[in-house]
Structure formats: C-alpha cells, structure tokens
Amino acid sequence: MRGHRQRTRTRPRAKAAIAVVAALAVGATGCGADDGPDDAQAPDTGTDAPADPPADEPGDGGEGAAAPGQGSVEVAGPVVEELDSPWGLVKLPDGDLLVGSRDEATILRVDTAEGTAEEVASVPDVAADGEGGLLGLALSPDEEWLYAYHTAPGDNRIIRMPLEDGTPGEPEVVFDGIPRDATIHHGGGLAFGPDDMLYAATGDANEPDLAQDPDSLAGKILRLTPEGEPAPDNPEEDSPVWSSGHRNVQGMAWDDEGRMWATEFGASDVDELNLIEAGENYGWPMFEGSGGADEGYVDPEVEWPVAEASPSGLAFHNGALWMAALRGERLWRIPLDATGTVGEPEAFLQGEYGRLRNVLAVPDTEDELLLVTNETDTRGTPEAGDDRILRLRVE
Ligand SMILES: [Ca+2]
C-alpha cells in the first residue's frame, strides 16, 4: 500500500501549540458534512462569525512586541489598497506584482512604487462561487509563464498564460478534472518547488473519503511537470499524486533545506501545519490533527484550534515559516532550526487587519514579506474592495 509505511518520528513537536489543543477531542473523526470554519465565504457554512477575542497566551506578541530571541513584525505600509478578494500573488522580475481577484477572475498588475493597480487580464471560464474562483498563482522558474489554479463550472483546473512584459496572454489549460464541490474545499495552492516542478494543492471537494482514494485528485497535493503531466519520480508512476489524505490545502512553502511544508484547514477542531513527504498520507478524514501515527499516517508538525488559524497562504523567510490565518486574523511565525524542528509558534497582527489570505516572501530582500488581506467577507456587498497588500519588515 502506498503511503502507509511506518515511520519513526524523531522530531519534537511544537509543544506550545500542541498544549493549546490538548483539551480538545483531537482524533475525533469530523467526517460529516463540513461546517468547518476554514474559508468563511459560503453563506451556508455558518462561518462568518467574528474572530475570537485576542488569545491570552505567551508569545502572542502583536505589533512586533516579541519576546527577546523571537521574531518581530513591523508594518512598513500598504503596497496597494482597495482590492477585491485578492488571493494569488506573484512578484515579477521588474518588481511589480501580479495579484488575482478570486471573485472577479481578473489579474491586476501592481506598481509597487506608485501603489497603483491596473487590470491586465480577465481569466475566462472561472466559476467564482463560495470559496471557489481564481485561486493560486505561480510564476514559472524561467519567469515566462504565469500559472493559475481556478474553479471552472465543472472542475478545478490549472492554466498557464505566457507573459509578455509582465502581461498575461491567452490561457491554455495544462491540467483539469480536479473535483469540485458547489462552494467549498477547492484547495487552490499552486507553487513551483525547488525541483522546478509544479505543485498543486487540492481540497476534498466536500467528499472526505476522496482524500483516501488514490484514483481521485481530491484531497491531494499533486506534483506536475510544467506541461501538466505527472512529474518524473512521483510515488506512483504516471500518477500526479505526491501526497494524500488532505482536507483542504491552500498554502505550500519550502524551507532553505528544501523541505516542503503545507497548511491545512481542519473541520471543526484542529488546523494543521504539515511537513510534506512523497507518498505519505496525512490522515484525513480518519484523523483531524494528530493521532494517526500509529496507523501509518503522518501527524501534523503543528496544530491549532481552528479559531486561531484557519490557515491559507504560507511562506518561508529568515528561518521561519509565516502563515496567514483567515478566521484567526493573524500572521503566525513558526521558527525552524536547521534540522527542520519547529519552535514555538508566535502570532502577530492579531485582529489588526482582519482575515489574512496570503503571504509572499520577497527573495531579493532580507526582511520583507508581502501580506494579502481578505476582509471581503460577503460577496457583492459594499465591503468588497476593502482588501490590501501590506509590506512587512520581519525578523
Ligand atoms: Ca492531517
């Protein structure tokens, strides 16, 4: 059986984070109809509740008031404001940004010096509904193609557009047939790894058992060639599946040792940060959070109560993972040491900028992160258009 080998865990867990959830019934199945507060967009999921009040816990620094030896975050200012449902974000070689609007299915080019945004593409065949729409964006390693993960009327799919002076051209579909639900659990993370392969994170399409079905693309992380074929040396020949047993993954990042990390929305109890390894099974829907290691599933490295996280985008920068939390309305810093051991997570900006969608490390700067907000809580209301990209200085 693929992905079920026993493994010996030698890494310490993120003890502080585990302690937070110790009182919860971790390991409860949570397999039923999903009312999970992952991405509070669908009006019928009952997830528009305001975030919980600020947690009174150690390490919850906010505004850069970190304890000595820990991280810090300073908001250097907005890069651009008045965006509508921004989701995917890439930086072009000339320093401009391309940001996708999930609900409008448009791509805006942001002049970071001027703080202006101009629509440069409208993506066809996007079915924006609930959590679906124009989701992850990725720039090819040769910087000649913009890739996008989007919801279409009948599936989720990956397209690419040639870039001409930073303007996306005619799209072509490179991969399709990723199952979709009417409104939720579309996944949407999209990134090129250090191996120059394209990784796509899918959701369980609100059918949890699909995450365990090796023949379904739902509830998986996929690894593809830039042309959309199953990548060489995948765990199963001619299968695009890299890892399985995921509920809804939107954020992926690689650390400076090349290890792959991914965020995952829990259903009602526990969100996850997972260390992703080829062929492994991360346990959904049998396990939400930890508890599956004895049965051959990989437990998360860090877990949070869903009210404190509901994590979307993920970036690695300056020795730490940075995780954007939607319902948690905060930016989590998860320090890593050289062995990949996770330290105590630390929260910043809690409740200051609302729901946080995405975070992008800017590789040519030592301390810069771009943060994408997601306060567009209700489609088509006057609140639409209140989102922004913030420039952060972080340590
Ligand atoms: Ca899991």
* Residue-wise pLDDT tens digits, 155-169: 999 999 999 999 999
Q: Could you report the per-residue pLDDT of 35-75, keeping only the tens digit for each?
A: 233 444 333 332 333 344 333 333 333 344 444 448 999 99
What's the chain's average pLDDT? 84
- Ligand 1 centroid vs 54 CA: distance in angstroms? 26
Q: Is the pLDDT of residue 14 over 70?
A: no
Q: Assess if CATH 3.40.50.720 describes domain 45-394.
A: no
The single residue listed with the structure tokens 């260390």 is 275
Residues of the chain above pLDDT 70, percent:
79
- Ligand 1 centroid vs 74 CA: distance in angstroms? 32
- Ligand 1 centroid vs 271 CA: distance in angstroms? 8
- Ligand 1 centroid vs 213 CA: distance in angstroms? 15
Q: Is the pLDDT of residue 143 over 60?
A: yes
Q: Could you report the per-residue pLDDT of 252-279, keeping only the tens digit for each?
A: 999 999 999 999 999 999 999 999 999 9
366 conformational bin, left if phi > 0, alpha if psi -120 to 50, beta if neither: alpha
- Ligand 1 centroid vs 292 CA: distance in angstroms? 8
- Ligand 1 centroid vs 341 CA: distance in angstroms? 18
Q: What angle (nearest 5°) sits at the alpha carbon of residue 55, between those of residues 52 and 57? A: 165
For residue 91, what are the CA distances in angstroms to 240, 278, 286? Answer: 27, 28, 38
The single residue listed with the structure tokens 């401009």 is 96
- Ligand 1 centroid vs 364 CA: distance in angstroms? 33
Please give the structure tokens belonging to residue 23: 């009182």
Q: For residues 131 and 39, is the Cβ–Cβ distance under 8 A? A: yes
Buried b (16+ CB within 10 A) or exposed e, 331-359: bbbbbbeeeeebbbbbbbbbeebbbbbbb
Q: Which amino acid is at 310?
A: S
Q: For residues 360 and 315, is the Cβ–Cβ distance under 8 A? A: yes
pTM of the model: 0.85
> In which band, very low, low, confident or very high, does the pLDDT at 384 lie, cut at 50, 70 and 90?
low
Q: Is the pLDDT of residue 3 over 90?
A: no
- Ligand 1 centroid vs 120 CA: distance in angstroms? 38
153 conformational bin, left if phi > 0, alpha if psi -120 to 50, beta if neither: alpha
Q: Could you report the per-residue pLDDT of 308-323, keeping only the tens digit for each?
A: 999 999 999 989 999 9
- pLDDT (0 to 100) of residue 385: 65
Q: Is the pLDDT of residue 245 over 50?
A: yes
- Ligand 1 centroid vs 226 CA: distance in angstroms? 28
- Ligand 1 centroid vs 278 CA: distance in angstroms? 15
Q: Is the pLDDT of residue 251 over 80?
A: yes
43 phi/psi in degrees, rounded to 5: -65, -20
- Ligand 1 centroid vs 196 CA: distance in angstroms? 26
Please report, for the chain, the start and end positions of each structural domain, with discontinuous segments joined by +.
Answer: 45-394
> In which band, very low, low, confident or very high, does the pLDDT at 182 lie, cut at 50, 70 and 90?
confident
> In which band, very low, low, confident or very high, does the pLDDT at 363 lie, cut at 50, 70 and 90?
confident
Q: Could you report the per-residue pLDDT of 192-227, keeping only the tens digit for each?
A: 999 999 999 999 999 999 999 999 999 999 999 999
> In which band, very low, low, confident or very high, does the pLDDT at 107 lie, cut at 50, 70 and 90?
very high
Between CA 384 and CA 103 the distance in angstroms is 10
- pLDDT (0 to 100) of residue 70: 85
Which residue has better confidence, 58 or 390?
390
19 phi/psi in degrees, rounded to 5: -60, -35
- Ligand 1 centroid vs 95 CA: distance in angstroms? 36
> In which band, very low, low, confident or very high, does the pLDDT at 172 lie, cut at 50, 70 and 90?
very high
- Ligand 1 centroid vs 104 CA: distance in angstroms? 32
